[in-house]
Amino acid sequence: MQATAPGHDLLFSAILEDAGSLADGAVIVRHPFLCDPIAGGLARELLRRAERALSSPPTVMTAFAGPDAWARSWRATLGDRGVEGVTAAVRRAGLLEVRVILRPFPTTRRWRDAILDSCADLVAPTAWELPAGTDQSVVAPTATDDSDAHLPFALADNAVFHSPVLARPVHGAALVRRVIASAAAVYGSRVVGPSLAAGNQVLSLWSCEVSSVAIEAASLAVFDAERRATSLSVLFQPWPAVALFRARVRARAQHVLGPEYFD
């Protein structure tokens, strides 16, 4: 386990060092609680204020690197609860996009609420919400066909799934497949991004949408000697879109999971 990186900005400074020096004007940041990307000093200060609200700062678990993408997975605490994060950067045509992606929902909700007032001088209140006019309807389906989890790898029989929107992990390959299939039915198609390997772990960056609002995602899989995933963690951002996604998953997955997984 590595020491906490300097910067105190949810590893933003550390990931810039991994990616090589770029001017602030060439960097955009997707903040975990804001729907619109931000840049430069504003991004750094908002991330610093977010980190200051944590009870313990991020501790890096694994560093990942590829030709055009870099990431560090980390853990922190907020009160008596744990937070898992991935701070990742993807280079595109001279522009570096940094994403801070989180789980689980109950803790990230508490974290977001804790920093609203402290950031009021930097961003408008509307920045913390879904864009005006976003369809926020939640309708339980009358019938479901949640049979295909679209996983690109095999699961070990005792696989554990750590969801971005559930309050507890899901155990067992069969149930994990059903839960992921229910979630996939909500977000539909995905845009697949870079995959980065480190030892027996693979971090995959991807994106999807809920009501035309983009969700940035990271999937972190841990494999056994037979290349079966024993653990799969999925992290999402930004929070307003994740909240809507969670409500729709809950409506769809109520035939699969009890209320204790959400509350």
Percent of the chain at pLDDT exceeding 90: 81
pLDDT for res 255: 83
pLDDT in tens, 166-184: 999 999 999 999 999 999 9
Nearby residues of 226 by Cβ (< 8 Å), 6 or more positions away: 156
User: How large is the average pLDDT for residues 17-26?
Assistant: 71
C-alpha distances in Å from residue 231, one per residue of 72, 198, 201, 224: 17, 15, 10, 9
Confidence of residue 256 (pLDDT cuts 50, 70, 90): confident
In sequence order, the 6+-apart residues with CB closer than 8 A to the CB of 19 are 70, 89, 91, 96
Domains 12-119 and 154-258 share a fold: yes
Q: What is the pLDDT of residue 25?
A: 57
Q: What is the pLDDT of residue 144?
A: 57
Per-residue pLDDT tens for 55-109?
A: 999 999 999 999 999 999 999 999 999 999 999 999 987 789 999 999 999 999 9
Quick one: pLDDT at residue 20? 80
Q: What are phi and psi of 75, to 5 degrees?
A: -135, 150
| Distance, CA of 155 to CA of 224 (rounded, Å) | 10
pTM (two decimals):
0.93
Q: How confident is the model at residue 254 (pLDDT cuts 50, 70, 90)?
A: confident
Determine the pLDDT at residue 155: 96
- Where b means 16+ CB within 10 Å and e means fewer, 100-130 reads bbbbbbbbbeebbebbeeebeeebeeebbeb
Q: Which residues pair with 10 in a beta bridge?
A: none
Contacts of 240 (CB under 8 A, 6+ apart): 33, 35, 128, 129, 130, 213
Query: What is the pLDDT at residue 146?
Result: 58
| In the chain, domain spans | 12-119, 154-258
Maximum distance among all alpha carbons in the chain?
A: 52
- The average pLDDT across 175-202 equals 94
CATH 3.40.50.300 assigned to 154-258: no
Q: Which residue has the tokens 């996939």?
A: 184
* 12-119: CATH class: alpha beta
Nearest residue to 39 (alpha-carbon basis) of 53, 49, 28, 47:
28
What pLDDT sits at residue 2? Answer: 43
Residues 126-166 pLDDT 10s: 999 999 999 999 986 665 555 567 788 999 999 999 999 99
Residue 1's pLDDT band (cuts 50, 70, 90): very low
